[in-house]
Amino acid sequence: MALLEMHEWYDLARDTNWTPAYVAEDEIFPPELSDPYGISVEQWETFDEPYKVCYRDYVETQRDKDIGAYSVKSALARADFFKKASPHWKALLALHFSPIGFAEFHSASAFARMTRFSRAPGMRNMATFGTLDEMRHGQIQMYFAYEFIKQDRVFDWAHKSSKTENWIIISLRHALDDIEHTRDAISAAIMTNFAFEQGFTNLQFIGLSADAAKAGDHTFATMLQSIQTDEARHAQIGTPLISIMIENGRKAEAQRLVDIGFWRIWKQFSALSGISMDYYTPLEFREHSLKEFMHEWVVDQFARNMKAIGLDLPWYWDYFLHDIETFHHSQQIGVYVYRATEWWRPIACVSPAERDWLEEKYPGWNDTYGKCWDVVIDNIRGGRFEKTVPEVPPLICNMCGLEVTGIAGVGRQVNGRTWNATNFHLDHEGRRYHFCSEPCKWVFELEPARYQGHRSIIDRLLDGTVPPGPDGFYEYMGQSFEERGVCGYDYQWVDGYDLPRAAAAE
């Protein structure tokens, strides 16, 4: 029997709205979950999926994608790639797999909520596939990380991390809870599908795959791109939603959702992709710098989409352009010096050759971030290893959960260089909140009630939530003694600065 082509039945099959007879419409689709913007159901029904797929094709395609990715993995497993990988690549894999794996599973619930509560039948279709996609992303990354556990316990954190109160996980969870999990279906979709997925996932899942291919890690490269082929499809949910919002006089609201989501996710990717691309990827395998990848994927490809659908660039765009050249450099310093608070083995990646590369990609790096590293290097060379670890905890941003750091090239002059370590702060209902940047503060001020109850890891340290004692802090963060990060090169990376090996081994 000849089957009808998808386009011959699609519109008819999509039409799954009906008028309920036994309950009120509002009870099935409560406005606070389905549409706080008061747009009519007729308008939502105009949602036309730009990227259409039917279930039969979906299952077949997804099966083929999995066969492709898993067969590359099993064909290359014997090559023992991981055993021979450098501390650079091991740190990069740990940084990717441990926060992301379970966050993908969580995304499945965000898509499921869109599937359940959207009033647009076309959106419900796309979100159904998106739910299944995100389950796949959770499973495949958990499974690929699992392979490494027998060689390195760090990969236990692919599963464990999301259940801990580690400061990095608190930071990630705060951002994802904010945009994916604690808003109505429409707002969450605009923030997640448009600002987050269309905006940033290409960076980590395609950009980094180029580095992985160069490094010979074809399993990782294939897995990343396989995942991204799903994202390319379900991220398209955001576009028709924004168009419907704009057509119905809700541009300001849509713009605000994008501006918040874009900033929040940028901060996460700045640390994740920034450190991965500009530091953890071995020098000889770097395809581009973070800045170059950001220009390709975000400043060019994504920003054009924003304007084409009728939005404006976010108000903080100029600041953002500066931030893509600066923020991750200071975060990398923090991640290295506070390494015991991380579960993997952080590495510095500032050998003389790596510094030359950083200076070339980010002119002025040596004169700013390099000066901070000089102090670290000097202490290691002098055998004063304890001095490479700060005694005081850092100031943590009450929005992004990352360290409030100096940003080179912005603000006031210090020692002849422009150096901004401004703590943007706000006093609200009897307490002071600290922020790393104007946009993080702006997000808070938009809706203080949403954010004011959150306590950063430092707030928890000060208010007694974290148990006292030398181990209390680490135990609170889920880190046994063996799960506290040490320098991945055992300080020998400074050998390039002529340190005798014997001194470093002491």
Partner 1 sequence: MTTADDAGNLVGPVMRAGDIADAVLEAIQEDNEGREVITEAHASYIRIKVADECFVRFETVGDVLGRTVTRGDIESNMPSFAGFIRTEPDGIRFVAR
Q: Which residues bind partner 1 (CB under 8 A)?
A: 5-7, 50-53, 57, 60-61, 64-65, 68, 202, 205-206, 209-214, 221, 225-226, 228-229, 231-233, 236, 239, 287, 295, 297, 299-301, 303-309, 313, 321
Q: Which does 340 bind (CB under 5 to 8 A by kind): Fe ion, partner 1, none?
A: none
Q: Which does 112 bind (CB under 5 to 8 A by kind): partner 1, Fe ion, none?
A: none
Q: Which does 300 bind (CB under 5 to 8 A by kind): Fe ion, partner 1, none?
A: partner 1
Question: Is the CB of 301 or the CB of 480 nearer to partner 1?
Answer: 301
Q: Which does 202 bind (CB under 5 to 8 A by kind): partner 1, Fe ion, none?
A: partner 1
Q: Which amino acid is at 56?
A: R
Binding-site member from 35, 184, 231, 483 for Fe ion (CB under 5 A): 231
Question: Is the CB of 232 or the CB of 283 nearer to partner 1?
Answer: 232
Cα 337 versus chain centre, distance: 21
Name every residue whose Cβ is closer than 8 Å to that of residue 430 and which is 6 or more positions away in sequence.
none
Distance CA 245, CA 238 (A): 11
Q: Which does 137 bind (CB under 5 to 8 A by kind): Fe ion, partner 1, none?
A: Fe ion
Distance CA 119, CA 25 (A): 10
C-beta neighbour count of 366 within 10 angstroms: 16
C-beta neighbour count of 182 within 10 angstroms: 12
Are 358 and 290 within 8 A, CB to CB?
Answer: no
Q: What is the SS3 assignment for 424?
A: strand
Question: Is the CB of 35 or the CB of 231 nearer to partner 1?
Answer: 231
Alpha-carbon separation of residue 506 from 22, 87, 336, 346, 399 (angstroms): 77, 20, 20, 20, 40
Q: Which does 213 bind (CB under 5 to 8 A by kind): Fe ion, partner 1, none?
A: partner 1
Question: Is the CB of 128 or the CB of 171 nearer to partner 1?
Answer: 128
Are 328 and 274 within 8 A, CB to CB?
Answer: yes
Alpha-carbon separation of residue 23 from 18, 20, 29 (angstroms): 12, 6, 11
Are 357 and 283 within 8 A, CB to CB?
Answer: yes
Q: Minimum distance from CB of 102 to partner 1 (Å)?
A: 22
Site string for Fe ion, 190-219 (x = CB under 5 A): -------x----------------------
Q: Minimum distance from CB of 103 to Fe ion (Å)?
A: 8
Q: Which does 211 bind (CB under 5 to 8 A by kind): partner 1, Fe ion, none?
A: partner 1
Question: Is the CB of 211 or the CB of 342 nearer to partner 1?
Answer: 211
Q: Phi first, then psi: what are they for 139, rounded to 5°?
A: -65, -45
Question: Is the CB of 140 or the CB of 337 nearer to Fe ion?
Answer: 140
Q: Which amino acid is at 167?
A: W
Q: Minimum distance from CB of 188 to partner 1 (Å)?
A: 22
Tokens 């950083």 label which residue?
A: 358
Residue 477 carries which DSSP code?
A: T
Residues that bind Fe ion (CB under 5 A): 104, 134, 137, 197, 231
